Amino acid sequence: MVISKDEFSQNAIKAINILKKRPIFEKITSNYPLAIIGDIHGFLDSLIRFEEIATEVSANKLVFLGDYVDRGPFGVEVLNEIFNLLINYTDKIVLLRGNHECLDMNKDYGFYDELLSKIGKEELNLIKLFYSNLPISNIVNDIFFVHGGIPCIECKNKELQINLTNYFQHKNKIKGNNEYLEFKDNVLLQMVWNDPDGSIDWFEPNYMRGDGIYYYGKKAWNKFMKENNINLIIRGHEVVDGFHIWKYDGDFINKIKSNEKFYKDQLNGSVITVFSSRYHLGRAGALVIYEDEIEFIEL
């Protein structure tokens, strides 16, 4: 698939103009089913198969959890396809920002060089605008969607939980600016970088990820859900074999069969990770959420 510079630029501009109208965080009411894809990381075949599944189930919303580029060879093609989806199915597409929607990450993990070789340096400003206008998270019905997870506000006061509506009330002004592009807000940084760990209760530093990044435990995510009136967290970010579930009590399920279904009530209070790239040589996963069930699908 050869994409011209003009095609990529025109699609990027149209997609950015759509994203500019969206808040950094919002609550969405939607009919089911919802189709969910995690980290794509430049693997176009995962995205194409996801589109087929979304069509097969007549998904009402397609939710993208971020990390569209880097690592895999087709980041430009993945972005161009995502632009097209947003342009042609605007009301159905929910795009979120991941930690790899960042030029500093792109320089280390491949997309920066890929963009320069396929499209050219002139389009870097469009990429910056795309990244800095992506929402950070959404609540759809009673489900919180985010790339990484929940943040601690005052991390020494571990039990204090963020109310998303209150916190984001005055944050839309940073969307599209360098403050957001560079993750200068510690809460937003954590939302794309933090990881769950059911073996801990509240928050612990995640030194492997870097300064200011945390693990969040079962008491933290359960209190966060109560504070924000949600029943489930769905996120990407971690390399797993398609899927991983941390249950409300800190127990986990990591051996999930393809096309296996769970009743939603069984998973209330859980944190679900979905990973949709193939660079790790494991399964690429996606979710279809029905009114009463969640299906785990291998791409």
β-partners of residue 220 are: none
For residue 1, is pLDDT > 80?
A: no
The CATH number of the domain covering residues in 32-298: 3.60.21.10
DSSP three-state, residue 64: strand
DSSP three-state, residue 24: coil
Q: Residue ranges per domain, the chain? A: 32-298
For residue 299, is pLDDT > 90?
A: yes
Catalytic residue among 41, 100, 237, 244: 100
The answer for residues whose C-beta is within 8 angstroms of residue 3's C-beta and 6 or more apart is 76, 77, 80, 118, 119
Mean pLDDT over the full length of the chain:
96
Overall average pLDDT of the 99-106 stretch: 97
How far is residue 59's CA from residue 31's CA, in Å, rounded to a whole number?
9
Bond from prior residue into 151 cis (ω within 30 degrees of 0): no
- CB-based contact 62:94 (threshold 8 Å): yes
Nearest to 67 by CA among 238, 245, 282: 238
> Count of alpha carbons within 13 Å of 244, Cβ hemisphere only?
18
Q: Enter the tokens of residue 251.
A: 């127990």
How far is residue 13's CA from residue 52's CA, in Å, rounded to a whole number?
26
The confidence score (pLDDT) of residue 207 equals 95
* DSSP 8-state secondary structure symbol assigned to residue 250: S
Share of the chain above pLDDT 90, in %: 95
Overall average pLDDT of the 101-110 stretch: 97
**Segment 3-51, tens digit of pLDDT:** 899 999 999 999 999 999 999 999 999 999 999 999 999 999 999 999 9
The confidence score (pLDDT) of residue 156 equals 79
Residue carrying the six token digits 């808040």: 23
The confidence score (pLDDT) of residue 189 equals 97
How far, in Å, are 219, 237, 256 from residue 242 at the CA level? 25, 12, 8
SS3 content of the chain, % helix, strand, coil (to 5): 35, 20, 40
Q: Enter the tokens of residue 112.
A: 């920066």
Question: Is 244 a known active-site residue?
Answer: no
Overall average pLDDT of the 212-225 stretch: 97
- CB-based contact 76:3 (threshold 8 Å): yes
The confidence score (pLDDT) of residue 153 equals 87
For residue 172, is pLDDT > 80?
A: yes
Residue carrying the six token digits 């632009």: 83
How far, in Å, are 73, 199, 258 from residue 188 at the CA level? 28, 24, 33
* DSSP 8-state secondary structure symbol assigned to residue 135: -
Overall average pLDDT of the 84-98 stretch: 98
- Helices 5-19, 124-132: inter-axial angle, 10-degree rounding: 20
Overall average pLDDT of the 111-115 stretch: 97
Q: Enter the tokens of residue 215.
A: 């693990």
How far is residue 270's CA from residue 267's CA, in Å, rounded to a whole number?
5
In terms of phi and psi (left: phi > 0; alpha: psi -120 to 50; beta: otherwise), the region of 83 is alpha
pTM metric for this prediction? 0.97
What is the total residue count of the chain? 299
Share of the chain above pLDDT 70, in %: 100
